[in-house]
Amino acid sequence: MEQFNLTFLATSQAAGKALAGVVSSGDLEVLFDAGSGDMLEVDITTSVNNSRARWEALFGRLMQLGRLPAGKMLIHDAGATPGVARIRIEQVFEEVGYAT
């Protein structure tokens, strides 16, 4: 089990809260609470040790696409693939995007 925090410069604003996924074998849960600042704070708890570089790369790709709203994100990972992780993260961003 590994826990770490990442912080990124936000590229957009959103409103509200969102949840995507469930914690179970091979999946993950993403909770997002939009904020008014200019940072996206991400707290990750994962069953995959030494995965920080993988998460940094995933958020780096999302940042290049301009898809990081300001706020606080909690991720509870049970070994999801990078593709599943990206889908869940984009689902919460889409949900709070409709709230604005």
* Tens digits of residue pLDDT in 21-44: 998 877 899 999 999 899 999 999
Burial (CB count <10 Å: 0-12, 13-18, 19+), residue 95: middle
pLDDT at 88: 95
pLDDT at 21: 92
Q: Which residues of 63-76 are buried (b: 16+ CB within 10 A; e: fewer)?
A: eeeebbbbbbbebb
Residue 100 has pLDDT above 80, yes or no: no
Pairing of strands 39-46, 71-77: parallel
Q: Tell me the mean pLDDT in the region 65-72.
A: 89
Residue 99 has pLDDT above 80, yes or no: no
